[in-house]
A and B are shown apart, each in its own frame.
Chain A
Amino acid sequence: MTPEDFDKLQSLLATRAGYRLSRDRIHLAEHRLGPIARREGYANVEALLSNLWANPVASLAWSVIEALLNAETWFRRDRIPFRILESELLPALSKARPDGRIKIWSAGCSTGQEAWSIAMTGLELGVPVELVATDLSQRAIEKARSGLYTGFEIQRGLTAKTMLRWFEPMDDQWMVKAELADAVRFGRANLLDEPTDDARFDVIFCRNVLSDMEPTRRARLLDGLERRLVDDGCLFLGAEEKLEGETVAFRAVNGRRGLYVKAPSALRRAA
């Protein structure tokens, strides 16, 4: 891949997905695009890209974008958010919403491990949770929806006891049991798109999305999350992520790493 190809890829990812493809990922990009080039019948990655620049077919562009997104995730990643959810948020919310279900959104859910981890927490507590999980990548969503994980994936973050409680062997993989499968609704969504409905959530998990985004697009993402979050709701960002002046809508909760609530100035919609 030429430096010009990489520049164009960076711009494609930035404009369509708000994603920052840093220069150190050039070899990773080359490696990930190889299988797409082969599948689409091109001699190599260069041929795939020169065709894409000359003839930007949406489906091919999206295959390329999806291959370059950072899909890394695992079960109960960082642990602490799930502990806070279990011991504080769900008990408090189920008191505050005695008749309703608690609405949670896993935004940027990748291959689904975060959503299943949230769903397990709700089911284990016996708290009714309505869980929506979305990702930009159709491929990631299809995998998430299949509920099938390799031995490596299923063991990363789950104890054997939890694995046996919620998954069963299926050929060489592990498949989510029906009881858990019914607890999550997966769909494709771009977090930069304007909301087309008025769904609002009590808790939003949007972890390790912001840090991979173009700095100039972060405010737009955060604005979308703010509009989707009820005024007394909670937002989880990734453990390593910090807001740095992108928004005044959220403030960090002291002593709860990664946890944010709406700042008083953002409560205008309550009026």
Chain B
Amino acid sequence: MDFRTCLIVDDSRIIRKVARRIVEGLGYEVDEAADGAEAFAYCTGAMPDVLLVDWNMPVMDGITFLRRLRAMPGGKRPKVLFCTIETRPERIAEALAAGADDYVMKPFDGEILQSKLTEVGAIAA
């Protein structure tokens, strides 16, 4: 499978910028959304191959967005990495149960993102 596009969903412009630089370095075409509702609207138009999704965001949070995404036509196909500052095991388990393919604790770096994307099969090992 050929993964090409990535949507970064985070209310922090700085995080989006940092993540964008890393993910573009891995060969993706990147778009951004500032909350779950924006991301949802984006996905109804064009489903990305990979999504990085923050948890706490205004308008619609990441978990709500993730559940709606997975219920959409074609919404099970994209690989979703949850990327948040939340580190409690029960919260990580909750995100995985809601349909995240993997979970990234902030702060992260390029090596971690690359390792996680490889692990979910979004980039070749």
| A residues neighboring B (CB under 8 Å) | 74, 79-80, 151-152, 155-157, 159-161, 164, 168-169
Contact = CB atoms under 8 A, between A and B. Distances in A.
A130 to B, nearest CB: 28
Given A161-B96, A164-B93, A168-B89, A151 B115 contact: no
Interface stretch (B14-22, B42-50, B60-68, B106-114): B106-114
Contact of A160 (B88, B96, B125): B96
The 6 residue pairs across chains A and B that have the minimum distance between CB atoms: A160-B103, A155-B112, A159-B119, A151-B105, A159-B102, A164-B89
A80 B89 CA distance: 28
B15 to A, nearest CB: 15
A74 B88 contact: no
Contacts of A169: 87-89
A155 B87 contact: no
Interface in B74-125: 87-89, 92-93, 96, 102-105, 107-109, 111-112, 115-116, 118-120, 125
B116 A79 contact: no
A160 B102 CA distance: 6
A74 B115 CA distance: 10
Contacts of B92: 160, 164
Interface size band for B:
20 to 34
Nearest to A151: B105
A155 B108 contact: yes
A123 to B, nearest CB: 19
B87 A151 contact: yes
Given A74-B111, A159-B120, A160-B104, 12 more contacts: A79-B118, A151-B87, A152-B108, A152-B109, A155-B112, A156-B111, A156-B115, A159-B102, A160-B96, A160-B102, A164-B93, A168-B89
Given A169-B87, A169-B88, A157 B115 contact: yes
Contacts of B89: 164, 168-169
B119 to A, nearest CB: 5
Residue from B88, B96, B111, B115 whose CB has the most chain A CB atoms within 10 Å: B115
13 contacts: A79-B125, A151-B87, A151-B107, A152-B109, A155-B104, A155-B112, A155-B115, A155-B116, A156-B112, A159-B102, A160-B102, A161-B102, A164-B92
Contacts of A164: 89, 92-93
A168 B89 CA distance: 8
A184 B19 CA distance: 36
Given A160-B96, A164-B89, A164-B92, A155 B125 contact: no
Nearest to B114: A156
A185 to B, nearest CB: 27
Contacts of A156: 111-112, 115
A223 B122 CA distance: 41
B116 A159 contact: yes
A156 B118 CA distance: 11
A160 to B, nearest CB: 4
A81 to B, nearest CB: 12
A165 B111 CA distance: 22
B125 to A, nearest CB: 5
